[in-house]
């Protein structure tokens, strides 16, 4: 079997998935169709439809695009079946029903942005950084009935520097994900559809856990997830900011007597060993540098965005917002 003989259907939606689709197309693999989410209404009146980045790439390269509202829709299922795919490759897409993932004769594999079994879920890159991990990676695995639990085919590791934000890790894993997708596809071609895989339980030791209950998870992130709890230690808040920067961004509400409450989004910080001598959430100004008290040390704020203003360096913010020390961060526990 050659790469031209293997009929592939690709499934994905965001930019992260484009890296793998691009690698398949430019690498000469036989991608016969692409499945992505329906176009999303955007704009003030929701009257403009925005195609996904995967759809844009697919159309630019003349690939058929399927956009089902529901994955079990009989019309979609039959259209999918008509492409007679040997293999489906999934990157950053929704959960699939068995009637879809079980359709190709060689199965369906997913590229997951973590070292499974750790960080199963929708936001593995964010949570790895939030939790202060020193490394993460990508995993290819065969889909089964549960979320991110299938048999592992390959893994590649990726180091997380202490000063890296989620954008740095995202970009690195997008490239690494494309590499591992091609490697796994090549193994399937070389094995005429057969490839070695292992159950995730055999990876528990590598993940430093003894059973499922010890695993870290990666649930979807919502606005309320991103609120900073100043009762936490400085290092934990520092990692929290990195893990949500630049998007969606962490935030805190700052309040002052007689003033309107403001939302401060925080994008970049620096750890310090300056003891916090005030209550958590207290704003401290020293030598034209902005700090906020954590539970143990002061956290220096380097980049922020206040309600109604653009993102800026803290020093520029201080030049135009002289009354910042009247404010304090609203307590959350």
Return the exposure string of 127-149: e unless at least 16 CB atoms fall within 10 Å of the residue's CB, then b. bbbbbebeebbbbbbbbeeeebb
**Residue 46 has what pLDDT?**
78
| Distance separating alpha carbons of residues 16 and 122, to the nearest angstrom | 13
pLDDT of residue 191: 97
CATH no. of 223-329: 3.10.25.10
Q: Which of 269, 229, 280 is nearest to 245 (CA)?
A: 269
What pLDDT score was predicted for residue 333?
A: 46
Report how far residue 166's alpha carbon sits from residue 48's, in angstroms, rounded to the nearest whole number: 30
Q: Say what the pLDDT of residue 41 is.
A: 86
CATH, range 7-214? 3.40.50.170
The whole-number pLDDT of residue 215 equals 96
The pTM score is 0.94
Q: Where are the domains of the chain?
A: 7-214, 223-329
User: Rounded to the nearest 10 degrees, how much is the dihedral formed by the CA atoms of 206, 211, 214, 215?
Assistant: 60
Q: Tens-of-pLDDT digits for all 333 residues of the chain?
A: 899 999 999 999 999 999 999 999 999 999 999 999 999 988 777 778 999 999 999 999 999 999 999 999 999 999 999 999 999 999 999 999 999 999 999 999 999 999 999 999 999 999 999 999 999 999 999 999 999 999 999 999 999 999 999 999 999 999 999 999 999 999 999 999 999 999 999 999 888 888 888 999 999 999 999 999 999 999 999 999 999 999 999 999 999 999 999 999 999 999 999 999 999 999 999 999 999 999 999 999 999 999 999 999 999 999 999 899 999 998 754
Looking at residue 332, its pLDDT comes to 59
Tokens of 307: 């309600």
Q: Which candidate, 35, 184, 215, places its Cα nearest to that of 114?
A: 215
In 3D space, the residue among 103, 158, 119, 101 whose CA is nearest the CA of residue 135 turns out to be 158
Q: Residue 49: which of 38, 62, 59, 57 has the closest Cα? A: 38
């Amino acid at each position: 079997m050659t790469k031209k003989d293997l009929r592939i259907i690709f499934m994905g939606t965001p930019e992260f998935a484009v890296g793998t689709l691009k690698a398949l197309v430019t690498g000469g693999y036989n991608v016969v169709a692409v499945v992505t989410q329906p176009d999303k209404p955007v704009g003030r009146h929701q009257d403009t439809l925005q195609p996904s980045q995967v759809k844009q790439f697919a159309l630019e390269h003349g690939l058929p695009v399927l956009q089902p509202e529901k994955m079990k829709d009989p019309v979609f299922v039959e259209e999918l079946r008509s492409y007679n795919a040997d293999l489906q490759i999934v990157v950053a897409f929704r959960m699939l029903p068995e009637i879809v993932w079980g359709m190709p004769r060689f199965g369906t594999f997913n590229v997951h942005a973590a070292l499974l079994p750790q960080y199963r879920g929708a936001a593995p890159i964010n949570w790895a950084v939030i939790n202060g991990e020193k490394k993460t990676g990508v995993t290819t695995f065969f889909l089964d009935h549960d979320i991110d639990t299938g048999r592992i085919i390959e893994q590649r590791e990726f180091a997380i520097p202490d000063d890296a934000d989620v954008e740095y890790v995202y970009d690195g894993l997008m490239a690494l994900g494309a590499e591992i997708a091609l490697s796994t596809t090549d193994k399937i071609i070389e094995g005429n559809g057969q490839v070695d895989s292992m159950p995730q339980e055999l990876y528990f030791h590598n993940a430093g856990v003894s059973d499922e209950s010890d695993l870290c998870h990666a649930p979807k992130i919502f606005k309320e997830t991103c609120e900073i709890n100043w009762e936490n230690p400085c290092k934990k808040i520092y990692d929290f900011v990195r893990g949500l920067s630049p998007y969606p961004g962490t935030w805190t509400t700052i309040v002052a007597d007689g003033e309107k409450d403001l939302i401060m989004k925080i994008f970049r910080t620096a750890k310090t060993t300056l003891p916090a001598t005030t209550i958590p959430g207290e704003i401290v100004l020293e030598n034209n540098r902005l700090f906020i008290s954590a539970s143990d040390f002061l956290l220096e704020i380097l980049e922020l965005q206040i309600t109604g203003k653009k993102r800026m360096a803290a020093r520029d913010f201080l030049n135009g917002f002289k009354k910042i020390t009247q404010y304090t961060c609203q307590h959350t526990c």
